[in-house]
């Protein structure tokens, strides 16, 4: 025991951890092994910035061998079957469900589980045939239970809507009945297609489970092409038949600390770290595309379910609130982000500049040869750092003022941004109020509308759902659900995540052992 | 001459408990009841401009100018020192709004709003302002879809209601006790006018909600369920009934030591009311006990 190398000791800690399941252990061991390899080659400045964590690689691993998020074209798969999986095209509803169940196990991602389950209503509607509502209900309910039990990861994400259809309505009903953590659910709302009666059902579900999260379909669709997009994991919008190759993020607080003042931040420091982050992204995707052989031997590529050129690297940022507050202090201004007009204007200027940077720089391996800007919603090790461009925990104003001070950022973050509104439980007696503010948020230009109703057992901690009761249980007995581990980390954070305002971080892997 | 401005304690752009949908709630300063259980006692009196709070503001947000206490909201850190000091149970932190200024605020939040609600304090003490604002809303193309509500203690006489009824969409009235002497003990005023208001508004289909506040050992509502039910059942258009649970957080004086109403108290009261056929009941979503 005492003779073990540091690496062996790390592995040993994972192997003997009393709270991790065998599967969680093997994921952690794989990551340790990967991180035993040398890091992809970086120039000195980028390396330095990464070591100082001004830029962060999300602990994706030293040698990326799979894309972070994969969004297969499941429609094509059901239509053509799969040679590699030895499956005929789907003939009926049971075929379709069975085929999806199979392929989910072969869709890689940073979590080792699929983060995207497809637009389920659109996928399944062609196979409804003569099945009655009751027959569909029974099948979908079993399917939903299977997803939660077999793929227990709350980053796994299903999409439904915007059309009013029987599958969409049944899934909302089943999700509300089962109150499972997984899968996460995004409902696409399109003002031209979605009837208010359906949105009302979705709002009623939110009041009970915090799900679904509602996406402003038309607004997001503008940033994508005809093949469309999916919302996956923690509010990432990405091209279907593609995905997100890698995600790095800039810690804006660290950039602000290194800046003399606002001018230095905007003209020197931010552009400098943007360039370094772009280097990091380029090197990491180059390894994925050129060395790892992922795109040369995957059946997903060979059968046309994903296309290498439809993957975008995600250019993330976080801790906008801290950065703005630091720059305000450096200018001897007291106004804080989310509460003061001047501070909010500075934040907006930063978002604009970031968007310009990303648009002006090409990357070899990127959808449309670009990276995509992303307001990253945090990981459990972020202490005292606010996700994305959100207003810090406990400082949020009422939901209407909240929306009015953040919506201006939404148009810049084409691969996703999220603000979580915490709404008092009294809303349950007056759901029309929630409906109204959701519609108003979309009218103003919010990409996504996510509400936590305080007091529910099932709450959104960051981008994903956890049960408060599970968190209480976890410390004694471990948890069946991967992300409850992460939720419990977040919950025990000294800033008191769950005690103040239910909160979101996206935590795609267990940081505890990496 | 009609008053064209209002003394406002605060404005909230989000409320889901003051009428249907999301509402902008305008809390007017000043009240003609003195409820022992008041959760915002500093909204009861208008500022007398006595100046006592001015020197005590740690953030220099208060000053004295031409015999008036002036509050600068940008300097204020909401520490509430002034409220604690004020010998008149008032607050220097109020705003004056003209009808035009109020319309500007409403337009700022317009996409979010199903309507507006005047609350207080006691909103109806500034009835002329309310009338003018409602009249403007109802006659302006981009605003007329907004519903206009008043949340009141019900003390306004019939002649007052007559003036606003043509302009409003509904009222919420508190019935704080059934017996007059209990009501007088709790609020300092008789409750006959409150009952009259309930009858009058209901007869005109303008009574959106009756609110019953349960205070264990202090109010008599529980002992008068049959009478309350009979009274409410006789109303021509049945209002919603909201049961509120008293909690001592934020109150002053003796009421600090009163017992909070528990979920059991509320549910017991609700069960009894429903035995008499009252069914449009709203119970608290959370209990702060
Ligand atoms: S609350 Fe009153 S005492 Fe405190 S800063 Fe504001 S004005 Fe001054
Ligand atoms: S708020 Fe109170 S203490 Fe201050 S000036 Fe007005 S009445 Fe006097």
B285 CB within 8 Å of a chain A CB: yes
In chain A, the percentage of residues whose pLDDT exceeds 90 is 73
Name the residue among A501, A502, A470, A496 with its Cα closest to residue A483: A470
Among protein residues, the one whose CA lies closest to atom 4 of ligand 2 = B53
- pLDDT bucket at A152, cuts 50 / 70 / 90: confident
Encoded tokens for A26: 């093997």
CB-CB neighbours of B280 under 10 Å: 12
pTM of the model: 0.88
The answer to whether residue B243 scores a pLDDT higher than 80 is yes
Encoded tokens for B189: 């005023």
Nearest to B22 among A428, A429, A437 (CB): A437
User: With an 8 Å Cβ cutoff, are B111 and A439 in contact?
Assistant: yes
**pLDDT tens, position by position, B248-282:** 766 788 888 899 899 999 999 999 999 999 988 99
Average per-residue pLDDT in chain B?
93
Residue A399: list chain B partners with CB under 8 A. 14
- Tell me what ipTM this predicted complex has: 0.89
The answer to whether residue A144 scores a pLDDT higher than 50 is yes
Among protein residues, the one whose CA lies closest to atom 8 of ligand 1 = B57
pLDDT reported for residue A474: 55
Report A:111-150 residues touching B (Cβ under 8 A).
Answer: none
pLDDT reported for residue A471: 57
Cα–Cα distance between B205 and A91 in angstroms, integer?
A: 58
Lowest mean pLDDT among B1-10, B152-161, B212-221, B222-231: B1-10
Bridge partner list, B12: B25
Contact B59/B92 with Cβ under 8 angstroms? no
**Average pLDDT score over residue span A215-219:** 96
**pLDDT tens, position by position, B164-202:** 999 999 999 999 999 999 999 999 999 999 999 999 999
**Average pLDDT score over residue span A39-61:** 95
- pLDDT bucket at B1, cuts 50 / 70 / 90: very low
The answer to whether residue A462 scores a pLDDT higher than 80 is no
With a CB cutoff of 8 Å and minimum separation 6, the contacts of B188 are B33, B34, B35
pLDDT reported for residue A102: 97
With b for 16 or more beta-carbon neighbours within 10 A and e for fewer, the A259-298 pattern comes to beebeebbeebbebbbebbbbbbbbbbbbbbeeeebbeeb
Cα–Cα distance between A443 and A426 in angstroms, integer?
A: 24
Q: Tell the residue number behind the tokens 């795109």, with chain if given.
A: A295
pLDDT reported for residue A27: 85
In chain A, the percentage of residues whose pLDDT exceeds 70 is 88
**B22 CA to middle of ligand 1, Å?**
30
**Average pLDDT score over residue span A196-207:** 96
Q: Greater confidence, A129 or B42?
A: A129
Average per-residue pLDDT in chain A?
88
B109 CB within 8 Å of a chain A CB: yes
**pLDDT tens, position by position, B57-109:** 999 999 999 999 999 988 888 888 999 899 988 999 999 999 999 999 999 99
Contact B94/B49 with Cβ under 8 angstroms? no
**A426 CA to middle of ligand 2, Å?**
34
Cα–Cα distance between A19 and A336 in angstroms, integer?
A: 40
The answer to whether residue A120 scores a pLDDT higher than 50 is yes
**Average pLDDT score over residue span A333-359:** 95
pLDDT reported for residue A494: 37
Encoded tokens for B243: 């049961």
Cα–Cα distance between A136 and A166 in angstroms, integer?
A: 9
Encoded tokens for A345: 């204007």
Alpha-carbon distance values, B103 to A327, A420, B135 (Å): 35, 29, 11
- pLDDT bucket at A455, cuts 50 / 70 / 90: low
pLDDT reported for residue A312: 97
CB-CB neighbours of B128 under 10 Å: 15
**B31 CA to middle of ligand 2, Å?**
16
The answer to whether residue A179 scores a pLDDT higher than 70 is yes
- pLDDT bucket at A499, cuts 50 / 70 / 90: very low
With a CB cutoff of 8 Å and minimum separation 6, the contacts of A417 are A235, A374, A375, A388, A389, A409, A410, A447, A448
- pLDDT bucket at A218, cuts 50 / 70 / 90: very high
Cα–Cα distance between A303 and A306 in angstroms, integer?
A: 8
Examine residue B55 and say whether the peptide bond preceding it is cis (omega within 30 degrees of 0): no
pLDDT reported for residue A367: 96
Which pairing describes strands B95-98 and B5-12: parallel, antiparallel, or unpaired?
antiparallel
Which pairing describes strands A157-160 and A116-119: parallel, antiparallel, or unpaired?
parallel
- pLDDT bucket at A246, cuts 50 / 70 / 90: very high
The answer to whether residue A406 scores a pLDDT higher than 50 is yes
pLDDT reported for residue A496: 37
Lowest mean pLDDT among A44-48, A202-206, B3-7: B3-7
Lowest mean pLDDT among A39-43, A217-221, A243-247, B246-250: B246-250
The answer to whether residue A461 scores a pLDDT higher than 50 is no
pLDDT reported for residue A158: 97
SS (H, E, C) chain B: CCCCEEEEEEEECCCCCCCCCCEEEEEECCCCCCCCCCCCHHHCCCCCCCCCCHHHCCCCCEEEECCEEEECCCCCCCCCHHHHHCCCCCCCCCEEEEHHHHHHHHHHCHHHCCEEEEEECCHHHHHHHHHHHHHHHHCCCCCCCCEEEEEECCCCCHHHHHHHHHHCCEEEEEECCCCHHHHHHHHCCCCHHHHHHHHHHHHCCCEEEEEEEECCCCCCHHHHHHHHHHHHHCCCCCCEEEEEECCCCCCCHHHHHCCCCCHHHHHHHHHHHHHCCCCCEECCCCCCC
pLDDT reported for residue A416: 94
pLDDT reported for residue A460: 47
- pLDDT bucket at A318, cuts 50 / 70 / 90: very high
pLDDT reported for residue A199: 98
Pocket of ligand 1 (CB under 6 A): B 57, 59, 61-62, 71, 76-82, 93
The answer to whether residue B55 scores a pLDDT higher than 60 is yes
User: With an 8 Å Cβ cutoff, are A432 and B22 in contact?
Assistant: yes
**Average pLDDT score over residue span A453-471:** 57
Cα–Cα distance between B30 and B157 in angstroms, integer?
A: 17
State the nearest Cα–Cα gap between B13 and chain A, in angstroms. 6
Cα–Cα distance between A448 and A423 in angstroms, integer?
A: 16
Q: Greater confidence, A313 or B2?
A: A313
């Amino acid at each position: 025991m005492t003779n073990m190398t540091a690496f062996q000791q790390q592995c040993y800690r994972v192997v003997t951890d009393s709270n991790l399941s065998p599967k969680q252990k093997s994921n952690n061991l794989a990551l340790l092994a990967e991180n035993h390899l040398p890091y992809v080659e970086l120039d000195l400045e980028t390396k330095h910035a990464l070591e100082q964590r001004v830029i962060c690689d999300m602990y994706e691993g030293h040698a990326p061998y799979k894309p972070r998020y994969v969004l297969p074209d499941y429609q094509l798969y059901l239509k053509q079957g799969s040679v590699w999986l030895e499956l005929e095209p789907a003939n009926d509803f049971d075929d379709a469900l069975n085929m999806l169940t199979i392929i989910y196990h072969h869709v890689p991602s940073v979590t080792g589980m699929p983060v995207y389950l497809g637009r389920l209503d659109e996928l399944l509607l062609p196979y409804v045939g003569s099945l009655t509502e009751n027959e569909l209900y029974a099948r979908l309910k079993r399917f939903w239970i299977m997803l939660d039990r077999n793929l227990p990861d709350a980053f796994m994400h299903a999409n439904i809507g915007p059309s009013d259809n029987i599958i969409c309505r049944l899934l909302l009903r089943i999700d509300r009945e089962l109150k499972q953590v997984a899968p996460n659910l995004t409902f696409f709302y399109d003002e031209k297609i979605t009837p208010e009666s359906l949105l009302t059902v979705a709002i009623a579900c939110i009041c009970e489970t915090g799900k679904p999260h509602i996406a402003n379909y038309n607004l997001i669709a503008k940033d994508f092409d005809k093949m469309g997009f999916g919302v996956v994991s923690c509010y990432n919008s990405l091209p279907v038949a593609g995905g997100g190759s890698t995600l790095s993020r800039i810690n804006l607080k660290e950039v602000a600390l290194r800046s003399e003042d606002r001018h230095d931040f905007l003209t020197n420091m931010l552009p400098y770290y943007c360039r370094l982050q772009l280097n990091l992204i380029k090197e990491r995707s180059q390894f994925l595309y050129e060395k790892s052989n992922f795109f040369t031997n995957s059946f997903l590529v060979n059968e046309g379910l994903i296309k290498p050129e439809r993957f975008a690297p995600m250019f993330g940022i976080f801790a906008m609130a801290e950065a703005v507050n630091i720059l305000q202090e450096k200018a001897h201004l007291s106004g804080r982000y989310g509460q003061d007009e001047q501070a909010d204007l500075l934040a907006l200027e930063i978002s604009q500049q970031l968007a310009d940077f990303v648009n002006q720089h090409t990357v070899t391996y990127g959808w449309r040869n670009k990276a995509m800007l992303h307001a990253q919603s945090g990981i459990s090790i972020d202490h005292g750092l606010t996700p994305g461009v959100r207003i810090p925990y406990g400082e949020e104003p009422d939901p209407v003022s909240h929306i009015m001070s953040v919506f201006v950022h939404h148009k810049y973050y084409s691969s996703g941004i999220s603000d979580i509104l915490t709404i008092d439980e009294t809303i349950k007696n007056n759901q029309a109020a929630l409906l109204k503010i959701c519609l108003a948020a979309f009218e103003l230009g919010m990409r996504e509308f996510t509400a936590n109703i305080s007091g529910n057992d099932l709450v959104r901690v960051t981008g994903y759902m956890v049960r408060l009761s599970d968190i209480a249980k976890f410390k004694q007995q471990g948890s069946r659900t991967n992300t409850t581990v992460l939720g419990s980390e977040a919950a025990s954070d000294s800033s008191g995540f769950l005690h103040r305002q239910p909160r979101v971080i996206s935590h795609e892997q267990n940081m505890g052992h990496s | 001459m009609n008053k064209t401005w209002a003394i406002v304690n605060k404005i909230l752009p989000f409320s889901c408990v003051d009428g249907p949908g999301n509402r902008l709630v305008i809390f007017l300063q000043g009240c003609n009841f003195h409820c022992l259980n008041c959760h915002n006692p500093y909204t009861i009196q208008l500022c007398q401009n006595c100046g006592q709070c001015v020197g005590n503001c740690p953030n220099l947000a208060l000053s004295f100018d031409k015999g008036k206490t002036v509050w600068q909201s940008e300097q204020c850190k909401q520490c509430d020192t002034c409220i604690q000091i004020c010998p008149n149970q008032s607050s220097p932190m109020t705003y004056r709004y003209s009808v035009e200024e109020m319309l500007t605020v409403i337009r700022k939040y317009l996409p979010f709003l199903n309507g507006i609600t005047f609350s207080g304090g006691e909103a109806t003490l500034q009835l002329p302002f309310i009338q003018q604002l409602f009249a403007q809303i109802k006659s302006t193309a981009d605003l007329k879809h907004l519903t206009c509500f008043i949340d009141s203690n019900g003390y306004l006489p019939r002649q007052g209601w007559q003036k606003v009824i043509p302009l409003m969409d509904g009222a919420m009235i508190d019935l704080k006790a059934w017996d007059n002497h209990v009501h007088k003990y709790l609020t300092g005023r008789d409750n006959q006018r409150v009952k009259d208001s309930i009858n009058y508004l209901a007869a005109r289909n303008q009574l959106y909600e009756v609110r019953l506040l349960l205070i264990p050992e202090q109010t008599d509502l529980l002992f008068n369920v049959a009478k309350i039910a009979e009274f409410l059942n006789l109303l021509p258009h049945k209002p919603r009934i909201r049961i509120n649970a008293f909690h001592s957080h934020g109150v002053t004086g003796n009421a600090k030591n009163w017992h909070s109403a528990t979920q059991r108290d509320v549910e017991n009261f609700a069960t009894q009311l429903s035995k008499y056929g009252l069914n449009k009941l709203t119970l608290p979503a959370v209990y702060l006990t």
